[in-house]
Copies of this chain bind each other. A is one copy, B any other.
Amino acid sequence: MAALNTSFAGQRLNKAAARKVSAKVTTRAVKPVTRAQAVAAPADVSSETVMDCVNTIRFLAIDAINKSNSGHPGLPMGCAPMGYVIYREAMTHNPKNYQWFNRDRFVLSAGHGCMLQYSLMHLTGYPSVSNDDLKNFRQWDSVTPGHPENFITNGIEVTTGPLGMGICNAVGLAMAEKHLAGRFNKPDCEIVDHYTYAIMGDGCNMEGMSGEGASLAAHWGLGKLIAFYDDNSISIDGHTDISFTEDVCARYEAYGWHVQHVQDGNTDLDAIRDAINKAKADPRPSLIKVTTLIGYGSPNKSNSHDVHGAPLGADETKATRENLGWKYEPFEVPEDVSKYMDCSEKGAAAEAAWNKKFAEYKEKYPEDYAELNSIITGELPAGWADALPEFTPEDAGVATRIHSQTMLNALGSAIPGFIGGSADLAPSNMTLMKQFGDFQKDTPAERNVRYGVREHGMGAIANGIALHSPGFKSYCATFFIFSDYMRSAMRIAALSGAPTLFVMTHDSIGVGEDGPTHQPIEHLASFRAMPGMLMMRPADGNETAGAYQIGVEQTDRPTTFALSRQVVPNLAGTSREGVRKGAYVVAGPAAGEDCDCIIIGTGTELELAVNAAKELGAKARAVSMPCWELFEEQSDEYKASILPKGVPTVSIEAGSTFGWSKYADISIGRDDFGASAPAGILYKEFGITTEAAVKAAKSLM
C-alpha cells in the first residue's frame, strides 16, 4: 500500500484553518481535462473557486438536510472534496443525457450520504435535480429521496442504502464494461471505454458482501473500477474502534487490489487527483482510502456520531458557516461555482465525439454494431423467443432445472446481452451456456460467469450488470434455499427495476437427502409477498419456456425461477401462453365451464393436481398456477373463469401453505421444516400426494 506523498503544503490542517489555506493551492500546468488525460488541478479557475465548489457541495447538503429536518450531513461534508474531483474533474459524463452509454458510472455505496450526490448532480448540470428539488429533499413525491434511487432520479445508476450493496453493484457495472470492451473493442476503435467510481464508508467495508464483490473484482481484473473508501472512523455506534479494528487496506491487498491512502481527504485535492491517476495506471481494481473528518467544517459536531445522521441545526450551521467562511444564503450557489461546475458542455462534446466514433464502428463492423446496439438500446433481435422450444407429453420428462438449462442455452445464442452464472453450483443449477467460455480476467468476452460461493455479492453484481445497459439479460443462480443469503439483493432488484433473472434450483423438499438446511419451505411465499418480484414456478418444459420468455421480456422487474431437482413429466395442456396468465386450466372443465372442484398445483406438484383431478372425475378441474403476480394482473373476469367463487378448491404445493387461503379452501403443503431422506419418502411422509388432494377435495364436496 502506497501512502501518497503530495506536494500540497499544509495538508494536515485543523478544521478552522482549512478554509483559508485553500487559497494557497499552487496552480498546476495547464492540462485540458479530456478523457485521455490525467486528472489535474484546473488551470482555468482559481483555487479559491475550486474550494468554493467544495464548500457549495457541503452547504447544499447542510441546507437541504436542515430544511427536511432529516438526513445525513456527515458524509457529504467529509466527502465533498473527493466528490468534487470525481464529478467535476475525473468523470466523463453528459448531464444532459444521463443515459449516454459510454458515460463513466458512479455509485454512492454509502447511500445515506445521498445529499452529496444530489448536490453534485445539481451543480454539474443534471436537469433531474434542480435547486427546488434540493429543497424538497426527503419529501413526498420529490425526486430527491432519502437514499439514491435510480427509478426516481435520472442520473442515479443504482439504488443504494443497504450497506455493501452499492460497491457490489459497481463491480457489476465495471464487469459489464470489461465484458463489452473485451467483446466489441477493435484495435482501431475502442468503442467501450469507461470507468466506474464508487464511494464506500466504514459500514460498507464491515459488510461481508463487499468482501465478496471485492474478491471477484480482483479475480476478474476490473482495472477500471476505482473505489473510494471514506475512512472517517465514525459509525452510528460511535468510533469504529469499538467494532472495526481490522486493517482494511491489507485486506484489499489480499484480495488483489491496488491500494492507496490519501491522508488528508478534507483539503488535499491534489492527493485525490494523484490517486485517481495512479489508479487508472494500474491494471487492478483500485481502493483509495481517503481519510476524512465526518462533518468536516462543523466546529462542534465533526468527528462525532452526532453529525452522521441528524441535521446540523441552526446554531451549528451558523458556527460551520463562520468556521468555513461561508457567506452565502441557504441553497445559494455562487455564480462562479455554478458556471465552473457545469459539465454540460464538456459532456455533450464527449458524447458527440463518441457518437461519431460509434457511427464509424457501425460502418466498419456492422455485425458487432448490431449486437452492441441491441445491448445499448435494449431492443432484442426479432424472433428471439422462437429460440425457445416447445414440448409435448411424448418428450422425455426431465427436471425443470434441465429445462432451464435448455432455455439458458437457447437464449444465450438468441440474445446478445444474455450473460450470467452460478454461485459455484453450475453443475447443479445447470446454468452453463455450452457455446460460451468463462468470463475471466483474460477472457472477458465470454459469457459464463463464475461467481464462486458468494450469493449476496452475486445478486448485487448481477443487478449491476442488468442496470449497466438495458439490453443486458443478467442471470444468476444458486439453490433456492440460498436466496436467504441474497434476499436483500433480490429485493433491491425488485425495488430498483433491475430485470435480473434469479435461477433458483432445488426448490422444495424434493432436494431429498441434503436435508432441511437445503430444503426451501417458506421461500415461495416470501417472494410472492415481495413487491415487484415475479415469482415463477414452472411445472414442465412448456412452462419453463414460458417463464423464461416472460422473464426476458421484463424491462423493469426481476424474475425468480423456482426449479426442480427432480424429474417431472411434460404434461398435456401446459403452455407458454398459460404461464403468461399466471394461472390457467390444464385438465378438466375449461375456463368458464362448470366444474365441481378445483385442484391447483404449481411446479412439481402440478402432476399431482392433474392426477387428483382425473381421479375426482370429469367435472374436476386442474389449474396450474406458475405465477401469482401475473394472475393477479388479469381481469376479474379471467380470474373468475379459472377460480370461480364457491367451487371447492384445494391447492397442493411442496412448501408452506402460507398465503394459499386466498385461493384455496384446503391447502396441502409443508409448514414445518423438511428432513434428510430420499425425496419420494419425504413426499409420502409429509402427505403431499395425489391421494391427499383427492381426499381434501372430497371433504369439501
Contacts and interface: CB of A to CB of B under 8 A. Distances in A.
A510 interface: no
A272 B112 CA distance: 47
Interface string A481-492: 110110110011
A488 B149 CA distance: 27
A71 B517 contact: no
A495 B516 contact: yes
A422 interface: yes
Contacts of A208: 164, 207-212, 454, 456-457
A395 B276 CA distance: 58
A353 B452 CA distance: 47
Interface in A211-267: 211-212, 215-216, 218-219, 235-237, 240, 242-248, 250-251, 253-256
Given A219-B245, A454-B208, A676 B145 contact: yes
A541 interface: no
Interface in A406-428: 422, 424-428
A139 B677 contact: yes
A513 interface: yes
Interface in A172-206: 202-204, 206
A159 B517 contact: yes
A514 interface: yes
A658 B245 CA distance: 43
Contacts of A505: none
Contacts of A139: 676-678
B488 A488 contact: no
Contacts of A256: 245-247
A204 to B, nearest CB: 8
Nearest to A235: B424
Interface in A127-146: 138-142, 145-146
Given A161-B517, A208-B209, A482-B488, A495 B673 contact: yes
Given A219-B246, A677-B138, A145 B454 contact: no
Interface stretch (A5-13, A292-300, A521-529, A638-646): A521-529
A305 B450 CA distance: 15
B147 A515 contact: yes
Contacts of A482: 162, 488
Contact of A237 (B138, B450, B528, B532): B450
Interface string A668-684: 00011101111001100
A248 to B, nearest CB: 8
A394 interface: no
B656 A515 contact: no
A235 B528 contact: no
14 contacts: A138-B515, A140-B675, A140-B685, A149-B676, A204-B453, A207-B455, A208-B208, A235-B424, A237-B426, A240-B452, A521-B531, A522-B531, A531-B671, A532-B673
Shortest 3 CB-CB distances between A and B: which pairs? A208-B208, A161-B517, A145-B676
